[in-house]
Amino acid sequence: MTTKSTYTTNHVTPPGRILAAELKERGITRSAFSRATHLSPMVLSALLKGAGNLTPEIAAILAAELGIPADLWLGLERRYREALDRAAAVA
């Protein structure tokens, strides 16, 4: 007998959490990254908390500074926002 089970979750990681882990791994402080990218500390802080939107412009900055493709950042942002929308629709 074969049983098929499907499990789905709305849990996704905000791109900012991945960015924070990447900065930590590379030993880059938030203030140093803010200066290097010309992102204001307020914008960077919001992004790291998942409160700020990761725009195409910010994705391009992250790609240039970290070597992680902009389309990857934008995909993470899109999936994160879609999950938030689904969660809000259920609540």
Q: How far lies 81's CA from each of 28, 34, 75, in Å? A: 27, 24, 10
Each domain of the chain, given as residue ranges in start order, spans: 15-90
Q: Which CATH number fits domain 15-90: 3.40.640.10, 3.40.1260.10, 1.10.260.40, 3.40.50.410?
A: 1.10.260.40
**Per-position pLDDT tens, the chain of length 91:** 555 655 555 578 999 999 999 999 999 999 999 999 999 999 999 999 989 899 999 999 999 999 999 999 999 999 999 999 998 898 7
pTM of the model: 0.84
Alpha helices in the chain (DSSP H): 15-26, 30-37, 41-49, 56-66, 70-90
